[in-house]
Amino acid sequence: GQSLEQPSEVTAVEGAIVQINCTYQTSGFYGLSWYQQHDGGAPTFLSYNALDGLEETGRFSSFLSRSDSYGYLLLQELQMKDSASYFCAAVNYGGSQGNLIFGKGTKLSVKP
């Protein structure tokens, strides 16, 4: 089967750094995306890794290791507004177009 594993909850304080890990097992793996979802909201795109290594976008960075089937999202200088659920999603080529296979999400709580 296809699955992505990530921690269910993480708590951190404002200004801190937090890393959310994701391990995956999928066929037709093409890359790893990260999405943020606030309560009651839609998933919004954060980052994507097609190649091994680190991608940096402002306070957020994402890492991928294909050989280890592992990636992580790194959030720096945490702010209260970062409290949300974070999903890793494998970009999966089961056919001609590709689709996203989501993990179960990590609920991040940022405390003052």
Partner 1 sequence: EPEVTQTPSHQVTQMGQEVILRCVPISNHLYFYWYRQILGQKVEFLVSFYNNEISEKSEIFDDQFSVERPDGSNFTLKIRSTKLEDSAMYFCASSFRGGTYEQYFGPGTRLTVT
Question: In the complex, which residues of this chain contact partner 1 (CB under 8 A)?
Answer: 30-31, 33, 35, 37, 41-45, 48, 50, 87, 89, 91, 93-105
Q: Which lies closer to partner 1 via its Cβ, residue 43 or residue 84?
A: 43
Dist CA 85 CA 41 (whole Å): 10
Phi and psi, residue 103, nearest 5°: -75, 180
* Closest distance of CB 95 from partner 1, Å: 4
Q: How far is the CB of 96 from partner 1 (least distance, A)?
A: 6
In the complex, least distance from residue 15 CB atom to partner 1, rounded to whole angstroms: 29
